[in-house]
Amino acid sequence: MKLPRLVVAAPSSGSGKTTVAAVLLAAWRARGRVVQPFKAGPDYIDPTHLARAAGRTPRNLDGWFLDRPELLEVFRRGVKGAAGALVEGVMGLFDGRDALGREGSTAQVARWLDAPVVLVVDARAMAGSIAALARGFRDHDPRLRLAGVVANRVGSERHAQILAEALESVGVPFLGYLPRSPELELPERHLGLVLAGERTLEPEAWARAAATLEVEALWRLARAAPPLDAPAHRLPTGREPLRARIAVARDAAFNFYYPEALELLEQLGAELVPFSPLAGDALPAGADALWIGGGYPELYARELAANRGMLEALRRFEGPVYAECGGLMYLSEALTTPEGRFAMAGLVPGAARMQERPTLGYRHVEALADGPVAKRGWRAKGHAFHYSTRPVVEPAAWRRVDGAEREGYLDGRVHASYTHLYFPAAPELARRFVAAASRGGVR
């Protein structure tokens, strides 16, 4: 496969990768190019900004979740109909699951895609030191090709000129900059950036910012990427006949889903029907199973508690229920936030409460009993990122493979956990969920 592609990386989180990626995507789109965005690592939030800029739904690429053949297949499926691809990195270029960034890092994804890397550097308090920084990142891993640097939060044209001269001294191309400007800053909160639907860059800001980027030079770098192989993979191919209807919670409170995971369920015979725990008071007619993903139930706890019709519909539902993180909080007996304690659905014993420090990281887990997404002993990969806590109640759903920690709740029908599963890493989980939903067929 010959396809222009580029990886946008940085020395660390907070450098401005999302802003630079969004501006570049918007600039290419304005020039008539259809470019598919991707996000390295397990992230639901940054992709919303990339989607707004590119006009296409991003996919996630993670080298710890997937082996290289499966990651390349997710990439190949994602770029259908596109003229190129842009991958926004995660954290710093060499940050991953292990200390050297061998797994789950932006560097790993760039190596597997054989894609040139552009380093976004926060230069607001930097001048000549950018040369040493760039040289270190260029030379750290000879398997990567550092194609150049984009400077972010630059104070003036003179500042940009100094940065360009410093980079020239070490042979690293300067590919433009973004100025220091409030309209180019994306606000953050406890799980990262705000979602694109709440605050994103405006087209006018994109256009002005793109004027200081080497937009065409960056496209030429993307076009220089060599042909990419397509090894045999283990992901399902084709589409199975419809056999189940799965209702998926989709609104401002619940919106953390991987597009490639939803597509996998559809591929395996599921019809996905959205519903809103915030606005609706009934579940979709004929739903065979429920999936309540992550999101921000803590921001809408009062509204969720006030929607007694939906809470009662959840309690009456008799089919399989799968809930992740925010979904677990919603299915608990109560959720305590700084605003108070709010009654939730009560399908899971115990209450959740918000805390100041986050729990986050990859999760390799083993099922402790048979349930709607796994059989006892099955192993799965996912991640956790939450600011709430709740007591572990039996029967627990998962055991950490790399420790004794037990987590989640499973009563055979309801599976609720803080772990966000990545279904493409273990398609048998998605297949089992569809099969559990289809026991009575599509009603």
State yes or no: is 325 an active-site residue: yes
Quick check: 86 and 37 in contact, CB under 8 A? yes
Place of tokens 């304005």: 30
Count, in order, helices (H) and strands (E) of the chain: 13, 24
| Active-site residue identified among 61, 201, 325, 352 | 325
d(CA 44, CA 25): 18
Opening angle at CA 424, ends 421 and 425, nearest 5: 70
CA atoms within 13 A on the CB side of 266: 10
Residue 12: how many other CB atoms lie within 10 Å: 12
Phi and psi torsions of 361, nearest 5°: 140, 170
Question: What token pair was written down for 52?
Answer: 């707004």
Give residue 206's identity as a one-letter amino acid code: W
d(CA 435, CA 443): 14
Phi and psi torsions of 301, nearest 5°: -60, -40
Give catalytic residues, as residue numbers: 325
